[in-house]
Chain A
């Protein structure tokens, strides 16, 4: 929602290190969630 400050858009060209970082971070967080699920499955057995 509205902010006192916000980041305006830029025009980075091509894939940057930050793109790789955020894609990697997304995968890591989802992997962590899957790990929680896996842990529960183990616990349930």
Chain B
């Protein structure tokens, strides 16, 4: 089949599947978090853990609960990794070194899944399942809980309460993630992804060499890796490994999984605020940016100049031949617009402009559709910035979903938006400007700069994909990367919940003739413009000196 046609068919198939799930899944998510009854299993969990499920939390208590939960999670994962050799299901693995153990603990707790190790050569089965996989569920549920609390900021009035973090965390895990993960796991197993607890086998190849064949509960981790926008693979080569992603069917299914919940969340938002058209407007913005990213990367990968790439129907270096250039481009763009970071081809091998788009996707703050929950609260903050800009144009007090956007809300929105550029660019500058950072840059020039900025952008935005070519296993990059992930995850969540608390305290403002209708194509266009301009202006120097300079050379 023609390569371009294959790409179009995959995209259209994916779009149709996601569109079909938008309403039922979005409605279901809304129902999960507005249901007044607790399931029996949930009541059991609350009883065992001593949680009062009916306690309504102030936004500051909500934040403290998230931080406390995440702090314990980091230390727990670190402990498991550092002692795995003395536990069970060891499969011959030593204890993980402190650098890698800490970076990985932070990485999985923050939904980043940045991996400085080869999973099949470093982690025991116990670590993969009891530490890493558990965090893939938990960190995704934390992100979703923050988004739901943010939505409550719009639906509630004259209160400073945003719900109960522990209830949101439990419901998101039990009612949403686990059921879909079970079904998805079975589909992946049917597609050929492995799922076993077998010991590693050493075989002799036809040429007489010895090769170790690893096993593992790969399918069950694979499904939450994608569904929870985590990205941390069982194997070093992630979704390019045939045990994780055996064929084009599993490839398209994995892309579907990583886009499923983020694209359905705007529907839940519309449902919860009582106006489904608000959800349609936000999902339209997400689809426009995602489609542009898919088109952009596909274009540059297929039209890459030179005789070799032309004969191969695309820039095939670093591309998994089972999926081809279209399968790689669709995966790369989908994994970078969400906070997933799983890869089925090497992003370092993308053409300069193709790689530049992947970097730009991440720099967007991953709002199109973004990570699970994170994409929702991210786009809501940008929607608030957009109505503020529109309010300045017409000289009226900006409003969004019946809430006034006053100086206090704008301060939170500004802090939210400024946090990531400050963290990313500061860390990149330290890496470029010091001996510790410079000594592990393997590619000098523009490509090296792109690798560094990509690394910190990926970690701060909790994406987790990498450009490779950078010695991120060095202690300097492990420490700065870990700090970047923690600040990039939790500082914006603090500001988002602060904003939600501020909105919840307001009385609802009825729409008037001067209120900007945020359900129209005009608003969708404005929001897309604000997103692109804000990110473009912030990261333009880095993009110009990195991928643009390399591409135009």
User: A interface vs B, CB < 8 Å?
Assistant: 1-12, 16, 18-19, 21-23, 25-27, 29-30, 33-34, 36-37, 40-41, 44
Contacts and interface: CB of A to CB of B under 8 A. Distances in A.
B341 interface: yes
B370 interface: no
B343 A36 contact: no
Contacts of A1: 113-115, 231, 233, 238, 341-343, 464-466
A9 B122 contact: yes
B437 interface: no
7 contacts: A1-B115, A1-B238, A2-B240, A5-B472, A10-B94, A37-B60, A41-B60
A35 to B, nearest CB: 11
Interface string B236-251: 1110100000000000
B115 A3 contact: yes
A41 B513 CA distance: 36
Contacts of A11: 85, 94-95
A21 B60 CA distance: 29
A3 B116 contact: yes
Interface of B: 60, 63-64, 67, 70-71, 74-75, 78, 82, 85, 93-102, 106, 113-118, 121-122, 231, 233, 236-238, 240, 341-343, 346, 348, 442, 464-466, 468-473, 479, 482-483, 486-487, 490-491, 494, 498
B483 A29 contact: yes
Nearest to A7: B473
A20 B35 CA distance: 44
A39 to B, nearest CB: 10
Given A2-B238, A9-B96, A29-B483, A37 B346 contact: no
Interface of A is mostly: helix
Nearest to A34: B67
A33 to B, nearest CB: 5
Contacts of A12: 82, 95, 97-98
A7 B64 contact: no
Q: Which 9 A-B pairs have the closest CB atoms?
A: A18-B98, A7-B473, A22-B102, A11-B94, A9-B94, A4-B468, A9-B122, A7-B100, A30-B71
Contacts of A7: 97, 99-100, 116-117, 473
A26 B96 contact: no
Contacts of A40: 60, 494, 498
Given A2-B466, A8-B122, 6 more contacts: A3-B472, A6-B117, A10-B97, A11-B85, A23-B78, A34-B67
A11 to B, nearest CB: 4
A29 B487 contact: yes
B74 to A, nearest CB: 5
Contacts of A27: 71
A9 B95 contact: yes
Given A1-B114, A18-B98, A9 B93 contact: yes
A38 to B, nearest CB: 9
A24 to B, nearest CB: 11
A16 B342 CA distance: 33
A37 B479 CA distance: 23
A14 to B, nearest CB: 10
A2 B241 CA distance: 11
Residue with the highest number of chain B CB atoms closer than 10 Å, among A6, A18, A34: A6
Contacts of A41: 60
A16 B97 CA distance: 10
A13 B494 CA distance: 38
